[in-house]
Chain A
Amino acid sequence: MKRIDHAEASSHFIKAKDHIDFHDKRLWDLRTKRDRESESLPEWQELRTLASQIKEHTLTHLADYLEEFERNAQSNGAIVHWARDAAEHNQLVFDLLRTRGAKTLVKAKSMLTEECEMREFLGPRGIEVIETDLGERIQQLDNEPPSHIVVPAVHKLRTDVAAVFARTLGTDPANSDVHYLAESQRQTTRPHFLAAGAGMIGANFAVAETGTIVVCTNEGNADLSMNLPSLQIASIGIEKMIPRIEHLGVFIRMLSRNALGSPITQITSHFRAPRPGTEMHIILVDNGRSERLGMADFWYSLKCIRCGACMNTCPVYRRSGGLSYGATYSGPIGVIIDPTFNLRKYAALPFASTLNGSCSNVCPVRINIHEQIYKWRQVISERGQLPMVKKNGMKIAGKILSSPRLYRAAIGAAGTGIEFLPDFMMYNRMNAWGKQREVPATPPMTFRQWYLANRTKKGKKK
Chain B
Amino acid sequence: MSSRDEILARIRAKAPAPRPLPSVPLFDAGRSASLATFKSSLARMGGKLAEAPADGDLDALVRRLFPDAKVLCSATPEIAGNRPLSSVGKPADLDDVDVGVVRAAFGVAETGSVWLSEAQFGINALGFLSQHLVVLLDPARIVVNLHHAYHQRGFHEARYAVLMTGPSATADIEGILIHGAQGIRSLTVVPVPAPPGA
A contact set with B: CB distance below 8 Å: 22, 26, 29, 43, 46, 49-50, 53-54, 56-57, 59-63, 66-67, 76, 82-84, 88, 132-135, 138, 151-154, 156-158, 161, 178-179, 181-183, 186, 189-190, 193-195, 210, 212, 218-221, 223-224, 226-228, 238, 243, 245-250, 252-253, 260, 262-275, 284, 286, 290-291, 293-294, 296, 299
14 contacts between A and B (CB under 8 A): A57-B21, A57-B22, A66-B7, A181-B173, A183-B180, A194-B95, A221-B183, A224-B128, A226-B160, A263-B44, A267-B163, A267-B183, A272-B158, A291-B10
The residue in chain B whose Cβ has the minimal distance to the Cβ of A152 is B172
Interface size class of B (residues with CB under 8 A): 35 or more
Say yes or no for B138: interface residue by CB 8 A criterion. no
Give A416 Cβ to nearest chain B Cβ, in Å.
46
Which residues of chain A come closer than 8 Å to B2, judged between CB atoms? 82
Give A248 Cβ to nearest chain B Cβ, in Å.
5
Which residues of chain B come closer than 8 Å to A76, judged between CB atoms? 159
Give B38 Cβ to nearest chain A Cβ, in Å.
12
The residue in chain B whose Cβ has the minimal distance to the Cβ of A220 is B183
Which residue of A178, A181, A183, A227 has the most chain B CB atoms within 10 A of its CB atom? A227
Q: Are B172 and A138 in contact (CB under 8 A)?
A: yes
Q: Number of contacts between A and B (CB, 8 Å)?
A: 247
Q: With A63-B12, A66-B11, A223-B128 in contact, do A267 and B164 touch (Cβ < 8 Å)?
A: yes
Give A85 Cβ to nearest chain B Cβ, in Å.
9
**How many Å lie between the Cα of A224 and that of B168 in the bound state?**
11
The residue in chain B whose Cβ has the minimal distance to the Cβ of A300 is B16
Give B182 Cβ to nearest chain A Cβ, in Å.
4
Q: Are B155 and A212 in contact (CB under 8 A)?
A: yes
Q: Are B125 and A224 in contact (CB under 8 A)?
A: yes
Complex partner residue of B22 from A53, A62, A290, CB under 8 angstroms: A53
Q: With A59-B16, A152-B172, A178-B176 in contact, do A268 and B163 touch (Cβ < 8 Å)?
A: yes
Complex partner residue of A57 from B19, B25, B110, B173, CB under 8 angstroms: B19
Give B167 Cβ to nearest chain A Cβ, in Å.
7
Interface flags, B31-63, vs A, CB<8A=1, else 0: 000000000010011100000000000000000
Q: Are B159 and A269 in contact (CB under 8 A)?
A: no
Interface flags, B1-26, vs A, CB<8A=1, else 0: 01110111011111111111110110
Complex partner residue of A249 from B22, B41, B150, B156, CB under 8 angstroms: B150
Known contacts A260-B171, A270-B161, then 8 further A-B pairs from the complex at CB < 8 Å, ordered by chain A residue: A63-B12, A181-B173, A182-B181, A193-B182, A228-B125, A243-B21, A245-B156, A252-B163
Which residue of A134, A210, A223 has the most chain B CB atoms within 10 A of its CB atom? A223
B contact set with A: CB distance below 8 Å: 2-4, 6-8, 10-22, 24-25, 27, 41, 44-46, 91-92, 95, 110-111, 113, 118, 124-125, 127-129, 145-147, 149-151, 155-156, 158-176, 178, 180-184
Q: Are A60 and B16 in contact (CB under 8 A)?
A: yes
Which residues of chain A come closer than 8 Å to B124, judged between CB atoms? 223, 227, 275
**How many Å lie between the Cα of A153 and that of B172 in the bound state?**
7
Which residues of chain A come closer than 8 Å to B183, judged between CB atoms? 219-221, 223-224, 267
Q: With A246-B151, A270-B160 in contact, do A290 and B10 touch (Cβ < 8 Å)?
A: yes
Give A434 Cβ to nearest chain B Cβ, in Å.
31
Give B127 Cβ to nearest chain A Cβ, in Å.
7
Which residues of chain B come closer than 8 Å to A264, judged between CB atoms? 45, 111, 113, 146, 163, 165
Which residues of chain A come closer than 8 Å to B166, judged between CB atoms? 266
Q: Are B13 and A245 in contact (CB under 8 A)?
A: no
